[in-house]
């Protein structure tokens, strides 16, 4: 799928309602005000097929230690838009220069049970580029095939006890990686947007 085709699909779903952990888990919707955040859903123009960039967070972080996530974080006052925040965070976390990113659009906002209002910003990334993980936040940078993300057979459901209640969430197991929670949910949303007739 070309960047132009992806951008067209995203534009078709621009008015889609927001999504979130609570819709699948059965947990209450997080109480406002939510903290605004943005992540970069980077689709890399690899040959023979495109990939999606993800990070493994370091084990010592207070929030989401060791989890797999997109580059991203809180939207700061100096950020002019979610797109600006996503590109800034990607530069800080993985050393991605903004010149390699072509913004294509946004996925529906994702609300997390931890109180974040996350805007997933989709961008086409043109290699070659050198990436350098921030050693404080990122243990590893890796890529998964876009075809794996788009295949609904890879969208599994997991569950665990959380705050006394059974919580369900999406899981995309890839090789030895356990992609779950909000990151998996946003990947499932990306697949639905790009494959829906």
Percent of the chain scoring above 90 in pLDDT: 71
Domain boundaries, the chain: 3-195
Q: Contact at 8 Å (CB) between 170 and 164? A: no
pLDDT value at position 197? Answer: 73
% residues pLDDT > 70 (the chain)? 92
- 163 confidence band (pLDDT: 50, 70, 90): low
Mean pLDDT for the chain overall: 90
C-alpha span between 18 and 188 (Å, rounded): 14
* 79 or 19, greater pLDDT: 79
Lowest mean pLDDT across 4-8, 65-69, 102-106: 65-69
pLDDT value, residue 156: 93
pLDDT (average), residues 120-142: 94
Superfamily of domain 3-195: Nucleoside Triphosphate Pyrophosphohydrolase (3.90.79.10)
Q: How many CB atoms lie within 10 A of CB 118?
A: 30
* 18: confidence class by pLDDT, cuts 50, 70, 90: confident
- The Cα–Cα gap between 129 and 51 comes to 14
pLDDT at residue 145 above 70?
Answer: yes
104 pLDDT above the threshold of 80: yes
- Mean per-residue pLDDT, 104-114: 93
Residue 66 confidence (pLDDT)? 63
Of 18-22, 109-113, 126-130, 144-148, the poorest mean pLDDT is in 18-22
């Amino acid at each position: 799928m070309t960047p132009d085709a992806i951008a067209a699909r995203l534009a078709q779903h621009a008015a889609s309602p927001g999504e979130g952990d609570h819709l699948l888990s059965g947990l209450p919707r997080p109480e406002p005000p939510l903290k605004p955040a943005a992540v970069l859903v980077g689709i890399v123009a690899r040959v023979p097929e495109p990939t999606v960039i993800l990070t493994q967070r370091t084990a010592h972080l207070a929030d989401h230690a060791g989890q797999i996530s997109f580059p991203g974080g809180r939207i700061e006052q100096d950020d002019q838009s979610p797109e600006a925040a996503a590109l800034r965070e990607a530069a800080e976390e993985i050393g991605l220069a903004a010149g390699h990113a072509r913004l294509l659009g946004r996925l529906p906002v994702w609300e997390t049970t931890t109180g974040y209002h996350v805007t997933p910003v989709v961008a086409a990334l043109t290699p070659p580029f050198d990436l350098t993980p921030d050693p404080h936040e990122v243990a590893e940078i890796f890529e998964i095939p876009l075809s794996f993300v788009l295949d609904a057979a890879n969208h599994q459901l997991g569950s665990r006890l959380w705050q006394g209640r059974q919580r369900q969430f999406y899981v995309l197991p890839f090789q030895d990686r356990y992609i779950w929670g909000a990151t998996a949910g946003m990947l499932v949303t990306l697949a639905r947007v790009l494959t829906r007739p």
